[in-house]
Amino acid sequence: MLSYRHGFHAGNFADVLKHALLALTIQALKQKDKPFLYIDTHAGAGKYRLDSEYARKTGECADGVVKLWRQAEPPPELRDYLAAVRAENVGGELLRYPGSPQLARRLLRAQDRLWLSELHNTDFAALRELFAGDKQVTVSMEDGLERLEKKLPPPQKRGLVLIDPSYEMRSEYRQVLQAVVAAHRRFATGVYAVWYPVLERAALEKWLREWAATGIERQLRIEHCVAPDGAGRGMTGSGMLFINPPWRLDEQAKVLLPWLNHVLADGRGEWLVHWQVPESAGAEFE
Ligand SMILES: C[S@@+](CC[C@H](N)C(=O)[O-])C[C@H]1O[C@@H](n2cnc3c(N)ncnc32)[C@H](O)[C@@H]1O
Give pLDDT tens digits for 131-157.
999 999 999 999 999 999 999 999 999
Rounded CA gap, 245 and 233, in Å? 31
Distance 284 CA to ligand 1 centre (A): 32
CATH number of the domain encompassing residue 138: 3.40.50.150
Q: Write down the pLDDT at residue 281.
A: 52
Residue 283 belongs to a domain? no
Rounded CA gap, 158 and 177, in Å? 21
Q: Is the beta carbon of 100 within 6 A of some atom in ligand 1?
A: yes
Residue 250 has pLDDT above 60, yes or no: yes
At residue 29, φ and ψ (nearest 5 deg) are -65, -25
Q: What value, to the nearest 5°, has the Cα angle with vertex 222 and ends 217 and 224?
A: 160
Atom 18, ligand 1: residue with shortest CA distance: 143
Atom of ligand 1 nearest to the CA of 22: 8
Residue 209 belongs to a domain? yes
The strand ranges marked E within 96-181 are 96-98, 113-117, 137-140, 159-163
Rounded CA gap, 260 and 21, in Å? 12
Residue 150 belongs to a domain? yes
Residue 284 has pLDDT above 60, yes or no: no
pTM as predicted = 0.96
Residue 284 belongs to a domain? no
State the residue range of the domain holding 61: 6-277
Distance 218 CA to ligand 1 centre (A): 25
Atom 27, ligand 1: residue with shortest CA distance: 44
Pocket test for ligand 1, best of 9, 39, 42 (most atoms within 8 A of CB): 42
Type of residue at 26? I
Beta carbons within 10 angstroms of residue 254's beta carbon: 13
The per-residue pLDDT for range 170-210, each reduced to its tens digit, is 999 999 999 999 999 999 999 999 999 999 999 999 999 99
Residue 25 has pLDDT above 60, yes or no: yes
Residue 282 belongs to a domain? no
Q: Is the beta carbon of 96 within 6 A of some atom in ligand 1?
A: no
The per-residue pLDDT for range 49-60, each reduced to its tens digit, is 999 888 788 889
Average pLDDT value over all residues in the chain: 95
Q: Is the beta carbon of 47 within 6 A of some atom in ligand 1?
A: no
How many domains is the chain built from? 1
Residue 1 belongs to a domain? no
Q: Is the beta carbon of 44 within 6 A of some atom in ligand 1?
A: yes
H helix runs in the chain, sequence order: 13-29, 53-58, 65-69, 79-88, 100-107, 121-130, 144-148, 171-186, 201-212, 249-265
Residue 253 belongs to a domain? yes
For range 214-231, the mean pLDDT? 95
